[in-house]
A and B are shown apart, each in its own frame.
Chain A
Amino acid sequence: MASSAPFPTGPIRTHRGRGVAVVGADIDTDRIIPARFLKCVTFDDLACGAFADDRSELANAAAGPHPFDRPEHREASVLVVNSNFGCGSSREHAPQALMRWGIRALIGESFAEIFFGNCLALGIPCLSAEPAAVRALQEAIAADPGAELLLDLETLEVELESEFVGVNRWRVHLDPGPHQMLVSGQWDATGQLLANAAALGDTAARLPYLAGFSAV
């Protein structure tokens, strides 16, 4: 299920979309995208690999199918997860697969560091929230998959508007650095890094190992 929504660009201040909950602690990047999907030289076709093994495991299980295979979540763009989501491998294929499936923001108890950074580099915010808030969100999504989530990155609030469960609002957290990068649209670092060409040269010049250790 690849979304046709455009990939993130520019300042990211709000996002509106349906939620999908993937429940469980320590969901690693091997589960988000199994290694066999890494045999590629572009990210283009990764959507079908998102949670591939978990999805086939759950396809015919009593608890199944996997949330990514449920028709009511087909349009979802906000992924709600539990703690240490995205641990394990540094593969950017993981956020790339989620983004190509249609995810544009994540809310969770906590995120693994490299995964968080990989998402940031794509303009996908990973917002953290209290465990109770995450649970409440996941339950609300289960109760009303059609409900829309409104993420306000400036005030760091998420609102869920549901015909069935009414309007609920939770605080979310984002560290000041990434927060600033997303709302200012400067989350894609390449341009900023290149802008400091002179300072880069100065730093290189004072590194002993780049100068035969003669600068010591």
Chain B
Amino acid sequence: MSAATLYDKVWDLHRVAELPGGSTQLFIGLHLIHEVTSPQAFAALKDLDLPVRHPERTVATVDHIVPTTSQARPFADPLAEQMLATLEANCAAHGITLHGIGSGRQGIVHVIAPELGLSQPGMTVACGDSHTSTHGAFGAIAFGIGTSQVRDVLASQSLAMNKLKVRRIWVDGQLQPGVFAKDLVLHVIRSLGVKGGVGYAYEFAGPAIAALSMEERMTLCNMAIEGGARCGYVNPDQTTFDYLQGRPFAPSGEAWGRAVAWWSSLASGPEAVFDDEVRFDAAAIAPTITWGITPGQGIGVDEAVPTVEQTPPEERPLAEEAYRYMDLQPGTPIAGTPVDVCFIGSCTNGRLSDLQAAAAVARGRRVAPGIKAFVVPGSEQVAAAAEAEGLDQVFVEAGFEWREPGCSMCLAMNPDRLEGRQISASSSNRNFKGRQGSATGRTLLMSPAMVAAAAVTGRVTDVRALLQT
């Protein structure tokens, strides 16, 4: 059983009571909400005639359904408009802050909470969205919840939870040029499987992790859930503190020093005990890309689609289903696979450093003929920062579309979607069947730089070749 890890310390601190059913009542320090998973929770609250217990600990934004072409109200899609209007009404009725469109702070919930300094070490963070694991990058325990639990947090600022086991994922060495946090996490999921993390929190540690920027750590923790781990985290360190200092909701003045002292005390120390440990060598990881229909079906860009014989027996039915659905031949190299659509964005890879990495590839090149390529910044702040550096111009000159912030084609609840059998190179996090809006559409997950490389060549390309020239 784990002991003295950051997970254990934060868990103990937030423990309210043991519940009759055997689970633990856990206090939630930060509750994030958006338009898709909150309306039914507010309705349930109304049915029960309950107030919101800590409206100041809940923060809202709108991301999933927002159009990325024109964000003028009312939205062209009446259902999308109704969802935003419902969120606005609920926030107004309960005194919850909503970072709405045009506020300068709107964006994907997992992009804005970190950049506003809301997500901090030592907090418990919950949101009706599985990629809440992102906030673990700060050394928080952050996890996705369902709508009934959103109701519970609104009503009681707490949840009935069962403690997870803790697996340390220790990464030695250093990522090579052209290899990013996205490649690292796709590699981890490929190795441990999409259910490998069920029942675990993943602590990411080791020299390669310490060297990652906060944005890279967010990419890593974001996809812990794709490996089955409900939360992933990185111990807070100087990188964390430097990122937080000066952000609107971060502590300031005298409180800053006290905050840093407390945050530092939370990190898993040498005495920490883990339920399990797995080691990786960052230097051995190539740009990694998925070929199938789960994020675990990944390979290095220099590898071939695995054959049935190379696939463990229990994974063969899924591999067969993936060959059929993706229309890829086992044993064929993945590099060179033609793509139709290139999407850069999402809570995994829609931050400034992601856009910088993609722009470095796009600069001075042209999107290949017939390819639709577009960039969706993760937030209004990311968009403004990118525009201030002229990245929007780099993309536009290369033939990419530069869009307004939102979730966009990560899950296609807005008009951005694949058509028919189109195949996308996507910096998002899920390659599930139908994920990008067409029931037969296909998705190849990869880093933003790899998406840009696919856009300018029209096919899956090892970005390392483009970075050398």
| A contact residues vs B (CB 8 Å cutoff) | 24-26, 28, 30-31, 34-36, 38-43, 53-54, 56-57, 83-84, 87-93, 95-96, 110, 112-114, 117-118, 121-122, 175-178, 180-181, 184, 186-190, 192-194, 196, 199-200, 202-204, 206-210, 212-214, 216
B145 x A90 contact (CB < 8 A): yes
How far is A110 from B132 in the complex, measured between Cα atoms in Å? 22
Tell me whether B102 is interfacial, beta carbon within 8 Å: no
Given contacts A88-B130, A118-B146, contact A39 B228 (CB under 8 A): no
How far is A188 from B21 in the complex, measured between Cα atoms in Å? 10
The residue from A28, A53, A113, A121 contacting B149, defined by CB atoms under 8 A apart: A121
Given contacts A39-B65, A122-B148, contact A189 B19 (CB under 8 A): yes
How far is A209 from B285 in the complex, measured between Cα atoms in Å? 38
Residues of A with C-beta under 8 A to B435? 30, 35
Binds A, one of B80-88, B419-427, B448-456: B80-88
Q: Which residues of chain B in 1-38 are interfacial with respect to chain A, using CB atoms and an 8 Å cutoff?
A: 13-17, 19-23, 25, 27, 29, 36-37
The residue from A41, A83, A175, A186 contacting B195, defined by CB atoms under 8 A apart: A83
Q: Report 7 cross-chain contacts, Cβ distance below 8 Å, ordered by A residue.
A: A30-B432, A34-B434, A41-B39, A92-B147, A181-B21, A184-B20, A216-B262
Residues of B with C-beta under 8 A to A206? 13
The residue from A34, A53, A178, A194 contacting B155, defined by CB atoms under 8 A apart: A194
B146 x A90 contact (CB < 8 A): yes
A190 x B156 contact (CB < 8 A): yes
Given contacts A30-B435, A40-B79, A203-B14, contact A121 B146 (CB under 8 A): yes
Interface size on B, residues (CB 8 A): 82
A181 x B23 contact (CB < 8 A): yes
Given contacts A184-B21, A199-B17, A204-B27, contact A26 B230 (CB under 8 A): no
**Could you count the A-B residue pairs with CB atoms below 8 Å apart for me: how many are there?**
224
Q: How far is the CB of A211 from chain B (nearest CB, A)?
A: 9
B251 x A213 contact (CB < 8 A): yes
Given contacts A39-B80, A181-B21, contact A213 B262 (CB under 8 A): yes
The residue from A30, A186, A196 contacting B17, defined by CB atoms under 8 A apart: A196
Q: Which residues of chain B in 222-244 are interfacial with respect to chain A, using CB atoms and an 8 Å cutoff?
A: 228, 230
B23, B82, B157 — most chain A CB neighbours (10 Å): B23
